[in-house]
Amino acid sequence: MNATEITNDVLAEIPVFRYLEADERRQLCDASSIQQFTSGEVIIRQGRKSQNLWVLLRGECEVIRHGSESNGDEVVLATLTPYSTFGEMSFFHAAPHSAGVRAKGNVDILRLQREAYDQLIDSGATSAYKLALAAVETMADRLRKMDEWVAALVGDTSREKREWSNFRSSLFGEWNL
């Protein structure tokens, strides 16, 4: 399968394409490629740099985070299902990936490379700007959920949670947030 074979009906189901008209979705799709991964393959490696925006078309992936080098434990943060988007943070800000993504089975993924996106921006394509808006909203939603989780964690009055709260207070006490 290549990106040009994806129907507009499928593209319309992808949340990060929600602001795009049919011709704009097609424009982004034409600038992308389809990548296939087998079960257990790493798509994004935590700590490495790459600037790709990924949309899962078929299958499931796991978002994984490894602990420190001394402990190395792996935590599964989320399971991604079709039409999920990942890689946005590093796509828009060239920094190492904060987590990894691994295929849970055979998967098909739409991949937009940053270079192709920059070409769309340079040509004045509205699709690129609308994609950025939707991606920012997606990241803001994730940040909002993280804030709620941290607030619940800090608000817990158990001994372990109080220790976390004290640690957090000492860590962030000098910051002006």
Distance between CA atoms of 154 and 156, rounded to whole angstroms? 6
Q: Report how far residue 169's alpha carbon sits from residue 59's, in angstroms, rounded to the nearest whole number.
A: 42
Q: What is the pLDDT of residue 6?
A: 82
Share of the chain above pLDDT 90, in %: 56
- State residue 141's pLDDT score: 87
Q: What is the pLDDT of residue 33?
A: 94
Fold of 3-141: Jelly Rolls (2.60.120)
CA distance 140 to 162: 28
d(CA 3, CA 26): 9
User: What is the residue extent of each domain of the chain?
Assistant: 3-141
- With 60 as the cut, is the pLDDT of residue 171 above it? no
The residue ranking higher by pLDDT, 128 or 10, is 128
* Model confidence pLDDT, tens digit, residues 31-71: 999 999 999 999 999 999 999 999 999 999 999 998 766 56
Q: Which residue carries 């011709």 as its tokens?
A: 23
HSE-CB of 136 using CA atoms within 13 angstroms: 7
Q: Are the beta carbons of 32 and 3 closer than 8 angstroms? A: yes
Per-residue pLDDT, averaged over 75-88, amounts to 92
pLDDT in tens, 109-119: 999 999 999 99
Q: Is the pLDDT confidence value at 79 over 90?
A: yes
- 132-166, pLDDT tens digit by residue? 999 999 888 888 888 888 787 777 666 666 666 66
Confidence bin at 177 (pLDDT 50/70/90): very low
